Structure 1
Amino acid sequence: MSEKLKPTIEAIILDMDGVITDSARLHAQAWKQMFDAYLEKLPGKQQPPLDLPGDYKQYIDGISRLDGVRTFLQSRNLHLPEGDPDDGPEAESVVGLGKRKNAFFLELVEKEGVDVFPDTLEMLKTWKKKGVKLAVISASQNCRKILESADLLHWFDVRVDGETARREQLPGKPAPDVFLRAMQELRASPEHTLVVEDAIAGVKAAKRGHFSLVIGVARNGEAEGLLHAGADQIVKQLTEIAIDMETTSRVQLPDSLPHALEGMQQIFSEIGDKKPVLFFDYDGTLTPIVDDPDAAILTDGHRQVLADLAEQFTVAIISGRGLADLRSKVRLDQLIYAGSHGFEISGPHGLEMQYAPGQEILPQLDEVEKAVKKQIQRIEGCEVERKKYAIAVHYRRVEKTRVKELKQAVREVLEGREQLKVGKGKKILEIKPNLDWHKGHALNWLLDKLDLARSRYQPIFIGDDITDEDALRDLRGTGILVGTHGEKTHANYRLNDTEEVYEFLARLHRWQAPDPK
């Protein structure tokens, strides 16, 4: 039964195993495989094998790997030395057994793959559209690898996992520290944060953190234990959770935004002691909008500004332009480039990414490109620009009386082609893959790939167009809109034009520049 939650939830923290991915099944299988083999070889009275409904749920599920080894051994009155972090999986120690279990688990992942719960994927999309901040937590040190293999990493603004806990010496569940760490990175508060857990230890940890609501996920009927641990509500699927997020939206008209140059001190205060990470759109942001896309040239002075910034910060350009075109316009090897709205990414130190699902649609784009050119050749002033993962139909020079005809022609070409969609922009229609991948996902993918944790870095995105709203919406940092695109925006600040962008960057550079000695 669906329950309506208070419209004050601004952030959601989800456990990974059993809530997001079905890897809990593989973890349980690996634990049983490891412990059954270990118990069978023990001298003396034969120990019963590990019982999944009993032993696993009570002593292992939801806690860190080494804690799982310790707790289960204690339940059987068995004792092993703690061992050394360098112990291999063959060592007869707590560390050794933990590594042995991990080896079994990775073999299972490689062999069987990781399934994503469809109800979770549906809700991730819903929550993202509503502007909810999302974090994933896990006791697993394989969290990132699992999310990458399931193509889920880009959904989350924050990840706190076994690697984080080891690096920062965070105690595991049922201590609340991993949840509190995720909440801190999300810049949320307990009273406005929802936790979704399927493990008893996880529910106990969330309750100790005094979070507003703790949802227990009982996919296989484990409701009683979760309720006893303190869960506020029990669901079998995440689609049973209904959240009215309207009051948390920060969408507003561009004219109502504070001007970034007038609010520099406030922006500096928001950055604090963190290091900025700079993301830009290209057309309309780093160069003025012009009728001919090829004429959008970066001046030598502006190029030098970007080069100077790249010596101080991580700098990326995320554009609808194709990757090769974007690189040829900017000509700075030290920058990161994300072309085609993030479908293709390239940067220093061997950084390369092509969004795999998009490559499967390339043959259809080839067909549509020919059909569109044929369909609109009668409309004067229209220009069709092919990018690798998109087709841009520019109508800036088309007579206003014929724009409606142009849009209808494009719709007719795309009729029945469900793998493609049309995006809007400033005097442009953009035909692109109908996939849930955009500038916001690309931005967060880069932050995670480059390990630019929100606790130490402040992402700043500057863009001007409708397509930049994907990045501004998913951004957990400072968003700046240049000019206006005629609709409401997720930005925090505004700038009037390209020249003001470079004035803003100059002030940021001076503020962050080291003191001369």
Structure 2
Amino acid sequence: MQQPERSRYGVTLLSYEAGVFDLDGVVTNTARGHCLAWQRLFDTYLSTLAERDSALFQAFDPDEDYRRYLDGKPRYEGVRSFLESRHVYLPFGKPQDPPDQETICGLGNRKQRLFEKLLAEQGVEVFASSIAFIESIRTAGLKTALVSSSKNARDILARVEASHLFDAVVDGIDAERLGLHGKPQPDIFRHAASLLATPPDQAFAIEDALSGVEAASRAGFGLVIGVDRAQQREDLLAHGAHIVIDDLAELMPPGVVQQDPLPEALGSFDRLVERLGRRLPAIFLDYDGTLTPIVDRPELAMLDAAMRATLARLAQRCTVAIVSGRDRANVAELVGIDNLIYAGSHGFDITGPDGLHMQHECAAEFLPTLDSAENELRARLADVPGVLVERKRFAIATHYRLVAERDVDRVRAAVASVVGEHPQLRQTGGKKVFELRPQLSWDKGKAVVWLLEALDLADDAVMPIYLGDDETDEDAFVALRERGGLGVFVGDASHATAASYRLDNTDAVRRFLGRLAGRLEGAS
């Protein structure tokens, strides 16, 4: 099979409609944690068996055993596959088996506990080049999905603030709920392509596991790319990879991967004004962390008089919209300026001057599910000191800023359990918050695009500018970058972001908006 030249990878990939990515070993470096958890599980269990029959103990090989029997496979299938290699045969049991049960499921659940402990102790490392590459193809207009055999996938994405990078996620919870076979079967890759409304032959897949490469190949993906993290290039090719790379940096056009620090918006104000030119700005603003500092409790986030005066002054010269995860009525009351546009619940509920009104047509169907999930969360977390379950009309936010570190994993597990029982909902992350939202293709980015079109601002005479500080704002940054607008990240922008500029804090936001208002006043 003739391989395309590496310098042409980027051009080749942009000819596809979508990209589907594995999690462990491609986006995040959690494979090491999984491997260590498996090693601790099997060495301990086989040592116990060796007390009965010494021939049964053969230490777990982190390289060979992990790669051959476990990497990329669903958890219980991995347990079965490894034990059979040691001629140990256990009953399958039930997924509800406790971790001390001597069944396939019991051992699999024990491994999950070990992995969660390691995750809490060591955190999650992301491959920066992978994040940069995914952002680049999304900017170019490609759709993206993530597939993983892990039931921790959504939690890990939320931890590393990368949920916004994927239009769809198919994880171990989805596979179990939908009866999808795990890798090397093609089911989860085909399902991911269907969620993106893209035929597999019009998409590429990137995997580092042999079972994953084989699954993507069986699913009929137009291009299967193997990432060689474990010195197995020839094996990846043999299992169906069309090309093999060492890192996603090789897929980027020259000079794109290295990401310079974002320019500071106040220091670069003259350059930003030059970019604005004769166009009129349309300003979109998050509330918490952007207009007001992050506080321990949501009800304490009060807009100060100076910021309110600045917003009112700016709104006299251009469109100003508040796009918040808060309920629309709540954020409108907190800001208290009549001629602004308010988009609440991440854009599910919008109102504004001159009768502007929109509520997502399908959102109301999810209210009974949100009611049920809220009740379950409150019941499960009732005895956790400091936790705050905040119900919004179209979302549930579980705040853990005041929760003791020892209890955070319990909160995380409760949220993951509830979302697993309600497939109509999806989990997103934020600053010290886990949020459940309707499983709908709608976010702040889509809400901003809707507003631009509804207000006749989607033309070359307007430059949209979005200011935000959190993971949920990345959707808006991406959407505006695709339409020639600007994103301004508020806070420490050392992590990957689709924004073009940064501001240090809410005081810098006020000064930036004030300078922009002054520029518009001077031009009138």
Letter in 2 for 1:18: G
4+ long deviations beyond 6 Å: 294-298, 314-318, 326-334
Which of 21, 30, 48 is 1:41 aligned to?
A: 48
Letter in 1 for 2:45: Y
1:11–1:335 distance in 2 versus 1, CA, 3 Å: closer
Matched residue, 2:464: 467
Matched residue, 2:224: 214
Query: What's the CA shift for 1:454?
Result: 4.8
Q: CA offsets per residue over residues 63-93 of structure 1, 9 Å max, x none?
A: 1001101111111111111112221111110
1:220–1:468 distance in 2 versus 1, CA, 3 Å: same
1:71–1:463 distance in 2 versus 1, CA, 3 Å: same
Matched residue, 1:194: 204
1:77–1:113 distance in 2 versus 1, CA, 3 Å: same
Matched residue, 2:239: 229
Kindly report which structure 2 residues correspond to 1:96-495, keeping only aligned pairs within 5 A, or say none.
96-242=106-252, 293=315, 324-325=334-335, 347-348=392-393, 351-352=396-397, 449-454=436-441, 462-464=450-452, 465=457, 466-467=463-464
Matched residue, 1:249: none
1:349–1:186 distance in 2 versus 1, CA, 3 Å: closer
Matched residue, 2:374: none
Query: What's the CA shift for 1:209?
Result: 0.7
1:147–1:327 distance in 2 versus 1, CA, 3 Å: farther
Query: What's the CA shift for 1:336?
Result: 5.3
1:337–1:133 distance in 2 versus 1, CA, 3 Å: closer
Matched residue, 2:6: 2
1:55–1:180 distance in 2 versus 1, CA, 3 Å: same
Query: What's the CA shift for 1:351?
Result: 3.9
Gap runs ≥5 in structure 2: 255-311, 350-389, 402-427, 458-462, 467-473, 486-524
Question: Matched residues in 2 for 1:148 and 1:39: separation?
Answer: 35
Query: What's the CA shift for 1:45?
Result: 2.3
Letter in 2 for 1:112: Q
Question: Matched residues in 2 for 1:106 and 1:327: separation?
Answer: 46
1:293–1:109 distance in 2 versus 1, CA, 3 Å: same
Query: What's the CA shift for 1:127?
Result: 1.6
Q: CA offsets per residue over residues 328-368 of structure 1, 9 Å max, x none?
A: 779999955699xxxxx9933774599x9xxxxxxxxxxxx
Question: Contact 1:316–1:338 (CA<8 Å) still a contact in 2?
Answer: no
Q: CA offsets per residue over residues 198-247 of structure 1, 9 Å max, x none?
A: 00000000110111100000134221211111110111010111489xxx
1:242–1:333 distance in 2 versus 1, CA, 3 Å: closer
Query: What's the CA shift for 1:54?
Result: 1.4
Q: CA offsets per residue over residues 278-333 of structure 1, 9 Å max, x none?
A: xxxxxxxxxxxx987279999xxxxxxxxxxxxxxx99879xx9993279779999
Question: Matched residues in 2 for 1:447 and 1:189: separation?
Answer: 33
Q: CA offsets per residue over residues 261-288 of structure 1, 9 Å max, x none?
A: xxxxxxxxxxxxxxxxxxxxxxxxxxxx
1:135–1:468 distance in 2 versus 1, CA, 3 Å: farther
SS at match of 1:194: strand
Letter in 2 for 1:216: G
User: Which structure is larger by alpha-carbon Rg, 1 or 2?
Assistant: 1
How many pairs does the alignment contain? 325
Are residue 59 (structure 1) and residue 69 (structure 2) matched? yes
SS at match of 1:171: coil
Matched residue, 2:353: none
1:350–1:243 distance in 2 versus 1, CA, 3 Å: same
1:472–1:86 distance in 2 versus 1, CA, 3 Å: closer
Question: Matched residues in 2 for 1:130 and 1:331: separation?
Answer: 29
Identity %: 31
Query: What's the CA shift for 1:473?
Result: 8.8
Question: Matched residues in 2 for 1:442 and 1:141: separation?
Answer: 16
Question: CA RMSD, aligned part only?
Answer: 4.4
Matched residue, 1:23: 30
SS at match of 2:226: strand
Gap runs ≥5 in structure 1: 245-289, 299-313, 340-344, 357-440, 476-480, 486-517
Question: Contact 1:333–1:348 (CA<8 Å) still a contact in 2?
Answer: no
SS at match of 1:51: coil
Query: What's the CA shift for 1:474?
Result: 5.5
Question: Contact 1:203–1:216 (CA<8 Å) still a contact in 2?
Answer: yes
1:331–1:189 distance in 2 versus 1, CA, 3 Å: closer
SS at match of 2:450: strand
SS at match of 2:63: helix
1:2–1:292 distance in 2 versus 1, CA, 3 Å: closer
Matched residue, 2:376: none
Letter in 2 for 1:20: V
Question: Matched residues in 2 for 1:125 and 1:296: separation?
Answer: 30
Question: Contact 1:316–1:337 (CA<8 Å) still a contact in 2?
Answer: no
Question: Matched residues in 1 for 2:440 and 2:146: separation?
Answer: 14
1:297–1:59 distance in 2 versus 1, CA, 3 Å: closer
Question: Contact 1:185–1:454 (CA<8 Å) still a contact in 2?
Answer: no
Query: What's the CA shift for 1:137?
Result: 0.7
Query: What's the CA shift for 1:3?
Result: 4.2
Question: Contact 2:164–2:475 (CA<8 Å) still a contact in 1?
Answer: no
SS at match of 1:134: strand
1:295–1:81 distance in 2 versus 1, CA, 3 Å: same
Query: What's the CA shift for 1:132?
Result: 1.6
Kindly report which structure 2 residues correspond to 1:495-514, keeping only aligned pairs within 5 A, or say none.
none
Query: What's the CA shift for 1:471?
Result: 5.7
